[in-house]
Amino acid sequence: MRKVVIIEDHELMRSAIASLLGKEWKIAGTAGTLEEARTLFKNMVEKPDIVILDIELGKDWGLDIIADKTFGKGNFPPVLVYSAFNDYAHVNAAIRTGAKGFVCKDQSSAELLEAMEDVTSGKISFPHEMIQRHAVISDKIIGLSKKEHKIFTMVQKRKTNKQIAAALGVTLRTIENNLSIIYDKTGVKNRKELENL
């Protein structure tokens, strides 16, 4: 029986996924944080066939697992992202870090199972409309400067202007000015439209 690891910070969601997969997959382990995942993989004898991973793990950034060499011997198992967020920033981060697929939590259980089949058979599994939207947004933000791109990414992650200013070490007014420029370059009217781009 094929083995799956579920890394998800909400206990009810972990249980629901495990219950859904239990008939066809062996649950090799679950974790709610990166630290729990490290311990799990350290003690694991056989590598799982796939990892279902939430990007937002409380304070942790789930995708850090893929590149983290402390997570096991050899290549990390193929990762299927299972996230409530399907905005550009999250999808782009998943693609950039090497996730093999992406399923949004508002998709059906059948779509999750289909994506798991694709990923374990060596295919890439991102919904067609997600890739199309990703390409359109990529075209829109191609003219952003490096700093503007950082701000755009943080806005997509729902960071406040104050949080962005603190992270970049600039004033709130600077962020507001930068956002005005980003609105013009991307053709949106306000922050809400930018968040949902």
> Same domain, yes or no, for 52 and 103?
yes
**pLDDT in the model for residue 69:** 62
> Same domain, yes or no, for 55 and 101?
yes
**pLDDT in the model for residue 143:** 86
Last residue of a domain, one of 132, 155, 179: 132
Could you give the number of structural domains in the chain?
2
**pLDDT in the model for residue 135:** 84
- Residue 83: inside a domain: yes
CA atoms 117, 103, 128, 107: torsion sign:
positive
Which residue's entry shows tokens 């550009």? Answer: 88
**pLDDT in the model for residue 162:** 95
- What are the per-10-residue average pLDDT scores of the chain (197 residues)? 95 95 92 92 88 92 80 75 88 89 94 95 90 83 89 91 94 93 90 86
What CATH number is associated with residue 162?
1.10.10.10
> Same domain, yes or no, for 91 and 187?
no
> Same domain, yes or no, for 102 and 59?
yes
What range defines the domain where residue 23 resides? 3-132
> Same domain, yes or no, for 180 and 87?
no
> Same domain, yes or no, for 102 and 191?
no
**pLDDT in the model for residue 86:** 85
> Same domain, yes or no, for 172 and 125?
no
> Same domain, yes or no, for 86 and 22?
yes
> Same domain, yes or no, for 123 and 46?
yes
**pLDDT in the model for residue 59:** 86
Last residue of a domain, one of 106, 132, 158: 132
**pLDDT in the model for residue 107:** 93
- Rounded to two decimals, the pTM is 0.74
